[in-house]
Amino acid sequence: MGAAVHSGNRRGTKIVVKDDAEEKKFNNNTKDLLDIMAFYSRVSGSVGVITLQNPPVNALSAAVRQGIVDTMHRALSEPEVKSVVICGQNGKFCGGADIREFRANMRGPPLVPMIHLIEAAEKPVVAAIEGVALGGGLELALGCHYRIAHSKARLGLPEVTLGLLPGAGGTQRLPRLIGVPAALELITTGRHATAAEALQLGIVDEVTDHSAVDAAVKFAQSVAGKSLDARRISTYPCPRSPDLAEIFEKAMQEVRRSARGAIAPVTCVQAVHASVTLPYAKGMERERELFSTLFTSGQAHALQYYFFAQRAVSRWSTPSGARWDTSKPRPVHKAAVIGLGTMGRGITVSLAQAGLSVVAVETQEKQLLEAKQAVSGMLERSAKRRGAPLAHDKIKYSCSIQAVADVDLVIEAVFEDMALKKTIFQQLSGICKPGTFLCTNTSGLDIDELASQTQSPELVVGMHFFAPAHVMKLLEVVYGPRSSPEALATAMEMGKKMGKVSVAVGNCRGFVGNRMLKPYLEQAFFLLEEGATPEQVDQVLEEFGFAMGVFKVSDLSGLDVGWKVRKADGLVVPGSTGKSARIRGGSRYSPLGDLLCEQGRFGQKTGRGWYQYDKPGGRVAKPDPWLHGFLEEYRARHGLVARRIDHQEMLERCLYALINEGFQILQDGIAAGPEDIDVIYVLGYGWPRHRGGPMFYAGLVGLDKVLERLEHYHQVYPNVSGLKPCSLIRKLAASSSPPIHRWREFIQKPRSQL
Ligand SMILES: CCCCCCCCCCCCC/C=C/C(=O)SCCNC(=O)CCNC(=O)[C@H](O)C(C)(C)COP(=O)(O)OP(=O)(O)OC[C@H]1O[C@@H](n2cnc3c(N)ncnc32)[C@H](O)[C@@H]1OP(=O)(O)O
């Protein structure tokens, strides 16, 4: 074919007709492509190829949509073109609608008519799916007449995770294509399917291990001129079965159970239901109506904020100016874990699964053997679940700390005991080769104090894993005043390798997560003193969306954990009576947790805590009459008169105390921005994702409202410091409560030596 090149840059479109040989030359000249959003070429004379170009994921921005419409018209109008292929640049078909556009003015051609234009085309249109076809990307592919996928591609409709539903025909086309049960499952979970699964379900027509674009072009040539009557999914009847009513009822029950107040999953079920009860056009109207209600909801706003927050935390910075883009991580090939208790075992599994060689150390032979068995079991179960190869041979077990001499990074994971950790850091400093990073898995101890035990404090950072460490996605990476940017960058990178979301935080008691937990727990205890029961407080928090209320969590993680910390802090004064029993350092204190521990009530593990369980280790929490009697007796002893506390007060006091501490953390420069705190709370503490995180929630409620309620409660309880509004929230509220992305401008940068 001759190389006739016509190029015009109409509203985000470049239309080029060129031959195959020229393709290479053109691809090398990527500078030309920067402002192009859909690129048209003709291959082998008769196939029009439309390439979406919007790095990094070819999201369907206004310009891309315009480009698709323009190039489709072009392909349909050229008599030489007999069929069309739609693909994406750089091996990614399309990551869906451009999420950033949702909060801006929607411009450009709408997605739904654009997809109808493709489906109605009289020339066959083939989607060449490489990388991802997600959300609007898959909906675009469903509008095509055929779909060819690369074997490594992932397909799905994850809109529900953004508080939306697949509003570009996805709820109407997918059930018509693969049936209601499979469509319901994909749409309500938002999970990504592999190409193999997509083939099995009938979402794609062919899977290839080679170039999906080449395969699609070949395919497009083979179907040129064939009837498209049976290829337009919108014309398919929705597959029916006698048990459809039951299927929908079950799906609704399941989403209501698991969604914990999230509205999108429920609305997704309603939209799919329309595909069965209404003809296609009416179903599309219903889809749009339901989409509109979600689109403007606070939950969609929160989930979309959270989507970007989770990505933003990888672009970390510290008050001294160290940054993710100027600090290079050092490669780590071999790591060690010291201490193979519950946390150490999980960390060992995570490291081995990330492909690292691991030296796992436990000083007692018996414990080492037990740990080895436990780790092997965890690896086997995990390999089975993930369909991944076993990582046993990555791990060497040893009773001797000397075995870590040649590793690049050590993670110490012994008990939360400063004296013990100090001894280990002194030893490590002498044993490890120069340059080895020394990390501690602590949930709140002073990183700097540990660093001072070593010859190279700049190599010391905290890596706060969450239990179970091989499952939980969150990692708090804690930099001390002497940690080097390289050490921080390396720990952040290690977290990423282990599949974690790493958040860099400064060094202070409890770091971010546990520091904020303290005033939250404190309020929960005070509420019990004033008349509430654990069940009432938990119910309020669970209705808000937490997976578990604060007292159930406390029973699960063990009341003795906090007790040990309070004892170490000199807060536990056994047998104290009178007013002093409830005051520490001039502030209100509740000894309720200490009193329960003195009774041996440590939670689930002892079968008794804030609730009762049928046996030690039992999981089902039941209200405990003994506890109710104990609370009554406690109140009487301390002259406290029980009152009826309404839901609003319980929620406000717990959440606003936690949020207030979050603002203090921002003010202190311990977290770089509100996104860091929100990601920590959603991933590590069960904060409902559809509420964005505590800081986002504060913005949604209104900073002036949060401030006003804190002021009110602080007036009522002047000896509770956690309720005293911090100056940052005052400053923000006084500046007309700017949007959350502007809060950083109001945070004074504290000094740091990093
Ligand atoms: C009353 C009003 C009514 C209005 C009615 C309007 C009607 C309009 C109807 C429209 C109907 C629309 C229906 C369709 C909706 C959608 O499609 S929503 C989007 C669905 N897609 C997704 O959820 C996919 C999201 N992306 C990902 O899961 C991942 O990014 C990935 C594609 C799997 C790639 O992962 P990875 O390689 O790990 O890269 P990341 O780091 O995640 O991403 C790289 C950067 O790209 C940004 N990004 C990714 N996807 C999008 C996107 N869809 N839009 C915008 N930006 C995206 C991501 O944020 C990263 O950038 P940074 O944040 O800057 O790091």
Task: Supply the DSSP string of 432-447, one letter for each residue.
Answer: SPTT-EEEE--SS--H
Q: Is 606's pLDDT higher than 50? A: yes
Which pLDDT score is estimated for 226?
96
Q: Is the peptide bond before 591 cis (omega within 30 degrees of 0)?
A: no
Q: Prior bond to 468 cis, omega within 30?
A: yes
684 CA to centre of own chain:
10
Q: Does the annotation mark 449 as catalytic?
A: no
Q: Decide whether any atom of ligand 1 lies within 6 Å of the 339 Cβ.
A: no
pLDDT at 277: 95
Residue 95 Cβ < 6 Å to ligand 1: yes
| Short-list 327, 332, 672, 315, CA closest to 485 | 327
Q: What are phi and psi of 177, to 5 degrees?
A: -85, -45
Give residue 2's pLDDT band: very low, low, confident or very high (50, 70, 90).
very low
Region label for 21, one of left (φ > 0), alpha (ψ between -120 and 50) or beta (otherwise):
alpha
Whether 648-746 and 532-540+548-642 are alike in CATH topology: the answer is yes
Instruction: Kindly indicate the confidence band of residue 22, based on its pLDDT and cuts at 50, 70 and 90.
Output: very low
Task: Compute the CA torsion angle 674, 165, 97, 81 (nearest 10 deg).
Answer: 170
Residue with CA closest to ligand 1 atom 14: 136
Model pTM above 0.90: yes
Q: How far is the CA of 581 from the centre of ligand 1 (A)?
A: 54
Q: What is the pLDDT of residue 259?
A: 83
Q: Is 167 in the pocket of ligand 1 (CB under 6 A)?
A: yes
pLDDT at 599: 95
| pLDDT (tens digit per residue) in 236-267 | 998 888 899 999 999 999 999 988 899 999 99
Q: What is the ipTM of this complex?
A: 0.98
The domain over range 334-509 is classified in CATH as 3.40.50.720: yes
Ligand 1 centroid to residue 412 C-alpha, Å: 38
Q: How far is the CA of 304 from the centre of ligand 1 (A)?
A: 9
User: What is the distance in A from the centroid of ligand 1 to the CA of 231?
Assistant: 28
pLDDT at 224: 97
Ligand 1 close to Cβ of residue 59 (< 6 A):
yes
Ligand 1 pocket, residue 296 CB under 6 Å: yes
Q: What is the pLDDT of residues 377-427, one digit of tens each?
A: 999 998 888 887 787 889 999 999 999 999 999 999 998 899 999 999 999
Q: Which of 78, 119, 130, 139 is catalytic?
A: 139
Assess whether the C-beta atom of 100 lies below 6 angstroms from ligand 1: yes
The class of domain 648-746 in CATH terms is mainly alpha
pLDDT at 23: 43
Over residues 553-575, mean pLDDT: 90
Our answer on whether the CB atom of 438 is closer than 6 Å to any ligand 1 atom is no
Query: Around Cβ 710, how many Cβ atoms within 10 Å?
Result: 24
Going from the C-alpha of 445 to that of each of 162, 222, 375, 511, 697, the distances in angstroms are 36, 67, 26, 8, 29
Task: Kindly tell me if the per-residue pLDDT of 6 is higher than 50.
Answer: no
- Beta strands 460-465 and 474-479 are antiparallel
Q: With 70 as the cut, is the pLDDT of residue 36 above it?
A: no
- Among protein residues, the one whose CA lies closest to atom 48 of ligand 1: 57
How does pLDDT run across 194-240, given as a tens digit for each residue? 999 999 999 999 999 999 999 999 999 999 999 999 999 999 998 88
Is the Cβ atom of 347 under 6 angstroms away from ligand 1? no
Q: Is 94 in the pocket of ligand 1 (CB under 6 A)?
A: no
Q: Which CATH architecture describes the domain 532-540+548-642?
A: Orthogonal Bundle (1.10)
Mean pLDDT over 78-104 rounds to 96
Closest-CA residue, ligand 1 atom 60, reads: 311
Is residue 293 within 6 Å of ligand 1 at its C-beta?
no
Catalytic residue among 80, 119, 122, 159: 159
Residue to mutate (ligand 1; options 94, 99, 114; most atoms within 8 A of CB): 99
**Phi, psi at residue 571, to the nearest 5°?**
-90, -20
* Residue 69: closest CA among 115, 17, 138: 115
Domain chopping of the chain, boundaries: 5-294, 334-509, 532-540+548-642, 648-746
pLDDT tens track for 493-548: 999 999 999 999 999 999 999 999 999 999 999 999 999 999 999 999 999 999 99
Catalytic (active site) residue 80: no
Q: Which atom of ligand 1 is nearest to the CA of 111?
A: 10
319 backbone dihedrals φ, ψ, rounded to 5°? -60, -25
Distance 13 CA to ligand 1 centre (A): 21
Describe the strand order of the beta sheet including 83-88 as a list of residue ranges.
Answer: 9-10, 13-15, 38-43, 47-52, 83-88, 125-129, 146-150, 206-208
Q: What's the CATH fold of domain 5-294?
A: 2-enoyl-CoA Hydratase; Chain A, domain 1 (3.90.226)
CA dist 704 → 116, 318, 729, 731 (Å): 47, 29, 8, 10
The answer to whether residue 754 scores a pLDDT higher than 90 is no
Residue-level pLDDT at 387: 80
- What rounded mean pLDDT belongs to the chain? 93
